[in-house]
Amino acid sequence: MRIILYLGKGGVGKTTISAATAVRSAMLGKRTLVVSTDLAHSLADCLNKPLTSEPEELAANLWAQEVNALDEMRRGWGKLQDSMSKMLRNRGIDSVMAEE
Q: What is the DSSP letter of 73?
A: H
86 or 100, which is more confident:
86
Q: Which of 46, 49, 90, 23 is nearest to 82 (CA)?
A: 90
Where are the chain's structural domains?
A: 1-67, 70-100
Asked whether the predicted pLDDT for residue 71 surpasses 80, the reply is yes
Average pLDDT of the chain, as a whole number: 89
Under the banding of pLDDT at 50, 70 and 90, the label for residue 85 is confident
Chain-centroid distance of CA 24 in Å reads: 21
Q: Which pLDDT score is estimated for 98? A: 54
The identity of residue 70, as a single letter, is: L
Predicted confidence at residue 30, as pLDDT, reads 98
d(CA 58, CA 65): 10
